[in-house]
Amino acid sequence: MGETIPESVLKKRATLAELKAKREEHKAKITKDRKAKRGKIFKRAEQYVKEYKALENDLIRQKRVAKAAGNIFVEPESKLIVATRIRGIIGVSPKVRKILQLLRLRQIHNTVFLKANKATINMLRLVEPFVAYGYPNLKTVRELIYKRGFGKVNKQRIPIADNSVVEEVLGKKDIICVEDLIHEIYTVGPNFKAAANFLWPFKLSSPNGGFKRKLLHFNEGGDAGNRGEKINALIKRMI
């Protein structure tokens, strides 16, 4: 006569089999969703590349038209600013300290993206001796996010290792991948504030070759203040 298996063992086996089936079903669903999402992300990335190329070509065309007409072409002002703190806490007045806190530049070499509007520019002018800022290009935005990017997830500093980190926080804003985040920041889109606040202030290194003279303005041969598009060279040395 065969060995009788206790009912408790049979119940346990059935429960484990049910749990395994649910796990497999959940795993298959996640794999399917990831595959569909991957296709969507690739399409968006291709669309963004075309958009950036079209903008670049349009700028070149406008320059050529102006030159042919014997005029000087003035490029439109950038809507995006990147600011980095270059001096510490010595000699900082309470007002300046408060503005640096509002700009999220609490530590030396902290770097943030800002929208170029009247309020931001006025705040930057008040703290000019302590920051270097300018207008970043697409390469600088991309390298900062890919190489030094950390997100704010549940008030914690989490590295942006994959797209799920971005989607978890910004998915409701239709920002589901790193390329979406780069596009929103670079074009200063409608969800720029949410995207910029998601990014933890970048913690950069001291620049290769060092600073020239931190106490002087950039226009006087120093490092502080607005340096326009030349900020890209400085950020490259700090990444």
- Beta-sheet strand order (sheet of 225-226): 202-203, 110-115, 80-85, 131-134, 225-226
Q: Can you say whether the dihedral through the CA atoms of 215, 225, 135, 199 is positive or negative?
A: positive
User: Residue 199: beta bridge partners?
Assistant: 151
* Exposed/middle/buried for residue 218 (C-beta within 10 Å: 0-12, 13-18, 19+): buried
**Backbone angles phi and psi of 200, in degrees to 5:** -70, 140
Token readout for 70 is: 């014997």
Q: What is the pLDDT of residue 99?
A: 92
d(CA 228, CA 133): 7
Closest among 189, 144, 199 to 169, alpha carbons compared: 199
Q: What is the pLDDT of residue 114?
A: 92
Q: What is the pLDDT of residue 28?
A: 74
**149 within 8 A of 160, measured Cβ to Cβ:** yes
Q: What is the pLDDT of residue 2?
A: 57
Token readout for 33 is: 């969703």
With a cut of 70, which residues of the chain have pLDDT below it?
1-2, 34
138: Cβ contacts below 8 Å, ≥ 6 apart: 52, 182, 186
**135 within 8 A of 185, measured Cβ to Cβ:** no
